[in-house]
């Protein structure tokens, strides 16, 4: 197999503010595998929180490219990957490698990736949450109303500012603007226990469906204890990185947010989904702000999730890839082999 790497900049349509930071752009490194006339692709994106910058991702992916070049075909490389040959590879890099392999193997077999993963779904699809960053309450309400008009039925509201009254005003404004939408809150671990108890009680009165990571990460036991008495279902995110974390929290929180870039790819995500089945803890599929290429593998798993939050590509000023939809509130797998995505031409805009 031949491999190549390319680094690109992904600018957001507007800054995304969350409780701990504001993002205006990310860099992405694309891995392309070529074999016998077919190509497979994967993407890893930078993240300050996970300590990933573009040069570091490039070096790590170059190591993986050298490993992949040893194999005669992508099928044998995928089998080696699945049996743990690269178990020490950082999760975001492993996810990109697995994506490229699955894309290429699926194209060579003439089947979409979800078939390779054992799914019998004809064409997995799901309503995706659409994120509204921290902004003035009136503007948050206006954005919510627009998103509902566009077809979004699930809205995720970022909260966690120093003044809890401002968070509450933002939730009220969004609920008033979108009275029938499913509403999720995400303070990214910014609340103390008393703040979480107070604000989630108000959230329950306003019909909020669930909250992600209300408490600071680093103490999953505290999160589990809080979930026992929380007025809203609690979805672990920053405290649920990998399979071991999910195992510790299964049956103790109401949900676990699985992101391919933090757990290591769709294989690891599938193992977490298997582990959670029947435990009383539901699966959420989340993402980083990234292109369609990053999100596509997760879309092939949406039939396994209670909550789907795969809107990172919709936050970009220009998504350089296409193939999973989402602008109407629904992400869906295409019927074409592999991931079902393609790189846009230089003159193509967003659909």
pLDDT tens track for 234-267: 999 999 999 999 999 999 999 999 999 999 999 9
Closest CA to 205 of 235, 172, 233, 228: 172
Report whether 38 contacts 98 (CB < 8 A): no
Query: Alpha helix locations (H) across 117-219?
Result: 137-150, 164-177, 193-205
Rg (CA), the chain: 20
Q: How high does pLDDT run on average in the chain?
A: 96
Split at pLDDT 50, 70, 90, the class of 347 is: low
Q: What percent of the chain has pLDDT over 70?
A: 99
Order across the sheet with 154-158: list the strands. Answer: 129-132, 154-158, 182-186, 210-212, 234-236, 255-259, 282-286, 307-308
Residue 349 has pLDDT above 60, yes or no: no
What is d(CA 112, CA 300) in angstroms, rounded to the nearest whole number? 8
pTM of the model: 0.95
Split at pLDDT 50, 70, 90, the class of 87 is: confident
Question: What digits encode the pLDDT tens for the residues 119-145?
Answer: 888 899 999 999 999 999 999 999 999
What is d(CA 39, CA 160) in angstroms, rounded to the nearest whole number? 43
What's the confidence (pLDDT) of residue 188? 97
What is d(CA 170, CA 179) in angstroms, rounded to the nearest whole number? 14
Give the contacts of 343 (CB within 8 A, at least 6 positions apart). Answer: 41, 320, 321
Split at pLDDT 50, 70, 90, the class of 351 is: very low
Question: What digits encode the pLDDT tens for the residues 189-229?
Answer: 999 999 999 999 999 999 999 999 999 999 999 999 999 99
């Amino acid at each position: 197999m031949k491999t190549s790497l390319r680094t690109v900049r992904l600018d957001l349509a507007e800054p995304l503010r969350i409780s701990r930071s504001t993002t205006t752009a990310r860099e992405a490194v694309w891995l392309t595998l070529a074999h016998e006339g077919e190509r497979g692709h994967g993407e890893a994106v930078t993240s300050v929180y996970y300590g990933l910058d573009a040069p570091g991702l490039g070096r790590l992916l170059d190591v993986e490219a050298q490993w992949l070049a040893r194999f005669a075909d992508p099928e044998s490389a995928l089998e080696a990957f699945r049996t743990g040959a690269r178990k020490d590879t950082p999760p975001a890099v492993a996810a990109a490698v697995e994506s490229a392999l699955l894309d290429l193997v699926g194209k060579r077999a003439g089947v979409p990736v979800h078939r390779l993963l054992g799914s019998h779904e004809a064409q997995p699809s799901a309503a995706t949450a659409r994120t509204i960053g921290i902004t003035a309450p009136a503007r948050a309400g206006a954005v919510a109303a627009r998103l509902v008009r566009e077809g979004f039925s699930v809205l995720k509201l970022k909260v966690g500012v120093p003044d809890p009254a401002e968070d509450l005003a933002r939730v009220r404004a969004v609920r008033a603007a979108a009275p029938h939408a499913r509403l999720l809150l995400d303070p990214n671990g910014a609340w103390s226990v008393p703040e979480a108890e107070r604000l989630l009680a108000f959230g329950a009165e306003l019909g909020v469906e669930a909250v992600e990571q209300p408490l600071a990460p680093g103490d999953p036991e505290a999160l589990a204890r809080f979930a026992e008495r929380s007025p809203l279902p609690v979805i672990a995110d920053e405290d649920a990185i990998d399979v071991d974390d999910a195992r510790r929290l299964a049956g103790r929180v109401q949900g676990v947010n699985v992101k391919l870039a933090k757990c290591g790819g769709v294989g690891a995500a599938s193992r977490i989904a298997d582990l959670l089945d029947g435990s009383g803890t539901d699966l959420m599929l989340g993402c980083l702000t990234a292109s369609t290429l990053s999100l596509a593998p997760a879309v092939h798993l949406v039939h396994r999730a209670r909550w789907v939050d795969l809107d990172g590509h919709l936050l970009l000023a220009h998504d350089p890839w296409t193939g999973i939809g989402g602008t109407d509130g629904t992400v869906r797998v295409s019927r074409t082999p592999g991931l079902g995505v393609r790189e846009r031409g230089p003159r193509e805009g967003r659909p």
